Structures are given as C-alpha cells and as structure tokens.
C-alpha cells in the first residue's frame, strides 16, 4: 500500500512528464505542465509563489496585471509582453514619442523616429510655425521657404525685395489654385542671361491697376522670344519710362490689356450712367487695330489715320490721345458701341448727385490728373516760341513724366456711377456734330468750365492733338 501511495504522489507532482504531456519537453523539478498554455509552470506545492498558490490547480498565482513593462516577460500570463499589454498603457516607457509643439517641430531632429523631421512630419502640420499660407509666383517671401511649391525661388534682391518666382528659359507654369494670376517668363534685370517667372497683369484680381501693391503693369517681351510681349507686374520704378523719346519709336504699352466684364448688364468695360438710360465706358478708351490676321495693339501716341480701329475700355492702359472725333466714333462702332451724347456724358461724370466734379461739389487738388504746372509742349521743346504750337501731334509729348496717366490710376477720380477720369487726363470727344470734347485734361480743367462742366467747342470734328481722347456709350 505504501508503495502505491508514493507512485500516486509522483504522478500528481509530475503528471505532465508522461508521454501524453502537452508540454514540448519534460518539466524540471518544482514545475508542472499547464494544460492550457502547454508551458511548464511553478508547482506551488513545491516552490514558494510570490503571489500565492492556487490550491485547486497547484499552480502559482499570476499577478493581476503586467508588473514590469520593460522586462520582456509576460508577467500576468495573458499572452502580451511589456508595452504590448494594455496594462502598460500610459506608462512612460510605453508612450510613443510624438513630434509636435513649436520646440520639437523646429529642432531639426526626428524626435519620433518616423524619418520625418520638423514641419515635414504630419504630427507638426497643425503647429503655427508649420502652417504655411498657400503661395505661388508673385507672392511675397523673405526666403525660398516662404514659397510653397516645387523648385521655388525667392527674389530677395534690391529690385524685387522678396517675390516668389521660378527659373525659366522661355515659358512659366500656371496653377489651378484660385486667386493667382497666370505667369510669364521675362529677362532677369540683374542677369541678362537668366529668365525669371513673374505674373501677368490681372484686372479680375486687382481691379484698379492690374497688379498688387508695390507693382505696376509694364509691357515686357518674353525671355528668349522677343516677338511676344505682354503686360506684366514689375516693381514700381524698375523700368525707366523716362528715357530719351525718339519720334520714330512706336511704343505699345497696352499689349495684352483686355476689357473686364461690364456691370449691371452693360457690355464689357462699361457701367450704367447715373440715370440708367445708357451704358458708358468706365475708363478712357485705348485702341486695337483690326487687320486681316486679327486684332493687334496700336500705339496711343499716334493718330490712327485710316486704319480700322476698335475701342477698348480697361484699367491700366495708356488711353488713346491724338484722335479726332470721326476716328473715335468709328472705333466705338467697331466695338459695338457709339460716342456718348453730351447729356449722357454729363450724367456719367456728374453722377447721381449731379455734382460739379466727379467726386463732389468742392474742388480737391490731387484727386484727378488735372494740374500739370509746366506745359508739356514747352517742356518737350525747351522753348515757348510760337512754332512749337504746330507740333501738337508729336508722339513724345504724352511720353513725358506727369502727362497722361494710365486708366484708373487716379482711384478717387471716379463718379458715383463708377466712371474714372471723366475730369482731367485727356479731353473726351462726344457725339456733338459741331465738335465738342469735355472734361479737360492733365494741364487744365478750369478755363472752359469747372470739372464735369468743362467743354471745348473751338475745334471741328477733324481736329486732334496730344490731349484729345474719348470713351464710348451704348444703348441699355
């Protein structure tokens, strides 16, 4: 009997050591085979168990949770080790590093080991220092990091003083991003062998002058292709427009300028006059010539002669001078318009308040282009001898400084109905068959009447000189 008891005791203690044991190998003394995990575990009847003994199974109790999250041991026998065990959630050793915050996102270190550094790491995308305003060619910058597109450069030289650009050899890309103008490749002023991308003038984005603050609309030829010229935005004063003027030169400052959409149902470039009975050009007109191959720019410093011309009303253009009433009327007709009657013109200038000046009833110096002190003909020829008055068609008169302004440049010289420069800048022909031009010009808006009431009737319809311009009207 004693012999059988000893055998039974040995079997109970090392029962897993039989050939039917689910454990892969024989358990050592003090351990028995756990039939669930198929592992040798401590036999609490033979060894001390730090968490107590399960009297029913004879197994040492496991801890209730993972007690050490960095020992590479499954302390609670739940099949999960260290940081893989939810018991370790929130433990410092198990908190995954995150690259975030203004310090970690600017220290040039891959803090979270994901191979992405600072603002290139998605963890940093919402941090203020990494939020970058969408930019494109023409945007302001202090260095290339301020231009958020591929291969960008920042023109931070003494001319551009911080403008996003691209290197170019002839062409520049455009973007489908909203709010950015199309681009054009021009010669870089600091290196004649280098091309840089700039923006074209865009009056839908910049209604007044076609360019943003600090820039002006200037005619430039394409880099490596001088046969193509368009109006682009360049820093104010970059192009010297006061160089020597030659009578044989034929400048084309209005190339590429087109009319914006009309207002309140009026044709392009037009707005209703104050009483709503007709549409009138918002800006003094410039010309394009209609040829067999299409429309081409025409210089505003020359009389159009017998050419077939079309009137265009748009901001940022040099308005056409040197034109007689017959030519002006024909240009309006070719645009589907006509010359304004005197009453229509006055209604557009005086506005809903029927004021003396486009801006009100009190004359304000500097609002309109109407007070050049030195007569431009005297300045051009350097004398006041009588012979100079037979040279009033000289193309260089209006190419001098402080003569005719680009349309819309005098932003406060506007009537309540939205028509610019009806006072000053250039005289404007009306449809009066006896010959009348109104509004005065950049030298005088007083002698023949104040402001909108200024009217010159001393010339017939075939007269023209540097000061005669026009705008069109249309039925509504």
Phi/psi at 410 (5° precision)? -90, 85
Q: Measured over all CA atoms, what is the biggest interatomic distance in the chain, rounded to whole angstroms?
A: 154
Closest CA to 82 of 71, 95, 97: 71
CA 255, distance to chain mean position in Å, is 22
Reduce the DSSP state of residue 321 to 3 states and report it.
Answer: coil
User: Which pLDDT belongs to residue 12?
Assistant: 42
Strands (E), 8-72: 31-34, 39-42, 53-54, 59-60
- The single-letter DSSP state of residue 467 is T
- Looking at residue 466, its pLDDT comes to 98
pLDDT at position 148: 83
Q: Which residues pair with 280 in a beta bridge?
A: 271, 473
Residue 216 bridge partners (DSSP): 234
For the chain, how many residues are written? Answer: 476
Surface-to-core class of residue 476, CB atoms within 10 Å of its CB (0-12 exposed, 13-18 middle, 19+ buried): middle
Domain residues of the chain, as ranges?
A: 2-88, 101-130, 144-235, 270-475
| pLDDT value of position 113 | 72
Complete DSSP assignment for 227-246: EEEEEEEEETTSS-TTS---
For the question of whether the overall pTM of this predicted structure is more than 0.75, the answer is: no
Query: In the chain, count of helices (H) and strands (E)?
Result: 5, 22
User: Which residue positions in the chain have pLDDT lower than 70?
Assistant: 1-21, 42, 45-48, 50-52, 54-67, 90, 92-93, 95-104, 125-126, 128-132, 239-243
Cβ contacts of 80 within 8 Å, gap of 6 or more: 66, 74, 86
Q: What is the pLDDT of residues 255-267, one digit of tens each?
A: 889 999 999 999 9
Terminal Cα-to-Cα distance of the chain (whole angstroms): 127
Backbone angles phi and psi of 220, in degrees to 5? -140, 145
d(CA 146, CA 162): 10
Contact 30, 46 (CB under 8 A): yes
| CATH number attached to the domain at 270-475 | 3.90.1580.10
pLDDT score of 101? 58
Cβ contacts of 199 within 8 Å, gap of 6 or more: 137, 138, 180, 181, 182, 183, 184, 211, 232, 233
The confidence score (pLDDT) of residue 436 equals 98
């Amino acid at each position: 009997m004693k012999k059988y008891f000893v055998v039974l005791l040995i079997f109970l203690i090392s029962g897993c050591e039989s050939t039917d044991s689910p454990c892969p190998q024989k358990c050592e003394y003090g351990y028995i085979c756990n039939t669930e995990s198929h592992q040798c575990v401590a036999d609490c009847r033979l060894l001390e168990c730090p968490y107590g003994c399960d009297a029913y199974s004879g197994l040492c109790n496991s801890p209730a949770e993972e007690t050490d999250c960095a020992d590479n041991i499954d302390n609670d026998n739940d099949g999960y080790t260290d940081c893989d065990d939810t018991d370790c959630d929130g433990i410092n050793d198990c908190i995954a590093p995150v690259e975030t915050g203004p310090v970690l996102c600017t220290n040039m270190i891959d803090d979270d080991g994901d191979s992405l550094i600072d603002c290139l790491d998605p963890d940093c995308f919402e941090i203020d220092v990494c939020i970058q305003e969408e930019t494109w060619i023409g945007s302001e910058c202090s260095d290339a990091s301020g231009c958020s597109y591929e291969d960008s450069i920042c023109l931070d030289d003494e001319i551009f003083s911080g403008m996003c650009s691209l290197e170019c050899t002839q062409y520049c890309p455009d973007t489908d991003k909203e709010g950015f103008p199309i681009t054009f490749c021009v010669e870089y002023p600091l290196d004649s062998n280098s091309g840089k991308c700039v923006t074209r003038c865009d009056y839908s984005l910049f209604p007044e002058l076609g360019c943003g603050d600090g820039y002006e609309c200037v005619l430039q030829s394409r880099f490596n292709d001088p046969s193509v010229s368009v109006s682009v935005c360049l820093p104010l004063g970059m192009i010297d427009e006061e160089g020597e003027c030659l009578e044989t030169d034929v400048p084309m400052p209005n190339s590429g300028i087109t009319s914006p959409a009309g207002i309140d149902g009026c044709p392009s470039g037009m707005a209703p006059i104050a009483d709503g009975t007709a549409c009138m050009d918002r800006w003094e007109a410039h010309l394009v010539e209609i040829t067999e191959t299409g429309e081409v720019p025409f210089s505003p410093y020359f009389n159009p002669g017998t050419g077939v011309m079309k009137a265009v009303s748009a901001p940022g253009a040099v308005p056409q001078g040197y034109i007689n009433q017959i030519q002006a009327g024909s240009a309006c007709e070719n645009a589907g318009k006509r010359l304004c009657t005197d009453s229509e013109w006055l209604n557009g200038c005086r506005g809903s308040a029927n004021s003396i000046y486009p801006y009100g009833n009190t004359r304000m110096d500097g609002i309109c282009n109407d007070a050049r002190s030195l007569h431009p003909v005297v300045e051009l020829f350097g004398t006041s001898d009588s012979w100079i008055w037979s040279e009033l068609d000289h193309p260089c008169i209006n190419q001098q400084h402080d003569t005719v302004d680009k349309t819309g440049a005098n932003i406060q010289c506007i009537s309540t109905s939205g028509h610019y420069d009806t006072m000053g800048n250039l005289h404007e022909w009306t449809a009066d068959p006896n010959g009348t031009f109104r509004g005065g010009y950049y030298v005088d808006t007083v002698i023949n009447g104040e402001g909108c009431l200024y009217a010159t009737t001393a010339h017939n319809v075939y007269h023209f000189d540097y000061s005669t311009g026009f705008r069109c009207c249309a039925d509504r």
